[in-house]
Homo-oligomer: A and B are copies of this chain.
Amino acid sequence: MVIVMTPDATQEDVDAIVSLVGTAGGSAFVSRGVSRTIIGLVGDVAQFSTLNLSGMSGVADVIRVSTPYKLVSRENHPERSTVWVGGVPIGPGTVTLIAGPCAVETPQQTLEAAKMAKAAGATLLRGGAFKPRTSPYAFQGLGEDGLRILADVREETGLPVVTEVVDAHDVPLVASYADMLQVGTRNAQNFALLQAVGAAGKPVLLKRGMSSTIEEWLMAAEYIAQRGNLDIVLCERGIRTFETATRNTLDVSAVPVAQRLSHLPVVIDPSHSGGQRDLVLPLSRAAIAVGADGIIVDVHPQPDQALCDGPQALVNDDLSELARIMREFPPLLGRKAAEPAPRSEAGPVAAV
């Protein structure tokens, strides 16, 4: 931690800081410049944070030089992690395709979408039973009925299920059906929910908040990790910017940056970021090419009748192209499409 003093800070101001830091068990090194004095602190940064250094007399700025997250940091865990979901890996070496309908509407629609997903190479099924919607007048999902449909479709297709939970109260219910819990962009700083999924014993897909910095996203992951759950997959899904031609601006650079800062796998959602069907395949290619550990895409058997986000769902004609992308692009990055692993291989790693 570095403290930058104002040009008119006095010797007393500097002394007060050195003394306070010493009291807190740290050391302070003072460098006097032509117009400014700088104080470098050595010791336990977390403890310094409680000292309110920025409120002290003569302090212009307090600059943090180590990361505020620990458990998800790559500094403390240099090897990149693989998260296993129902026997399917998400991590370095593979590219995982997660696909399915935005919302679960009927058993038939969900089953058809799952079959489409599988045909395109998906090894995990996505589908929402609880839908956070900007308007209270929009379709909010089928709730537990939707979870049952997902469980039935898993039974029939063998695809493990990724589904969203929007209320801390519902975590046990959703966790009893799902193989992976999704936390959506609007709940990226719903700390009660983050703590609840951290305690649920299931892998978590954590979407980036639409206005979260990468650091805040990792802090949200830290909330989950702190409750004992490190099976977290980060999902970039577009951020809010001034550009209105796309629903959000997909921040592909966030993938290599997050992978450098954290050991957690990072996937991309090309469907929600663009919000338009004809952007999904180009963005899927870009996602794999930039180094994402997976992609999560919307498919729907009849998008023009979808109750949620129909305009961005892939349809039949797109699926063979998605399958080709999943076949041809990962090898150029030394990866392969993720496949379910034999039980013995996945077992120990998946344990929470």
Contact = CB atoms under 8 A, between A and B. Distances in A.
Contacts of A244: 213, 244
B279 A256 contact: yes
A276 to B, nearest CB: 8
A246 B253 contact: yes
Given A249-B239, A286-B286, A49 B138 contact: yes
A33 B38 contact: no
* A interface majority secondary structure: mixed
A33 to B, nearest CB: 4
A336 interface: no
Interface string A37-58: 0101111001001101011100
Interface in A111-139: 132-139
B273 A253 contact: yes
B278 A68 contact: no
A292 to B, nearest CB: 9
B191 A307 contact: no
Interface in A155-190: 166-169, 186-187, 189-190
B34 A40 contact: no
A344 interface: no
Nearest to A287: B286
A311 B189 CA distance: 23
A278 B260 contact: yes
A45 to B, nearest CB: 8
A35 B133 contact: no
B245 A36 contact: no
A243 interface: yes
Given A40-B38, A65-B38, A289-B286, A134 B216 contact: yes
Nearest to A331: B328
A243 B289 contact: no
Given A65-B36, A168-B169, A306-B52, A257 B241 contact: no
Interface stretch (A80-88, A142-150, A199-207, A219-227): A219-227
Interface string A1-32: 01010010000000000000000000001011
Contacts of A335: none
A323 interface: no
Contacts of A347: none
B283 A132 contact: no
A75 interface: yes
B2 A66 contact: no
B31 A42 contact: yes
A274 interface: yes
A290 interface: yes
Nearest to A40: B31
B283 A257 contact: no
A55 to B, nearest CB: 4
A154 interface: no
A249 to B, nearest CB: 5
17 contacts: A29-B31, A33-B66, A38-B65, A49-B138, A52-B306, A55-B303, A60-B65, A168-B168, A169-B192, A214-B245, A239-B242, A249-B251, A253-B279, A253-B283, A285-B289, A286-B286, A289-B289
CB-CB nearest 5 A-B residue pairs: A211-B211, A31-B40, A289-B289, A186-B189, A285-B289
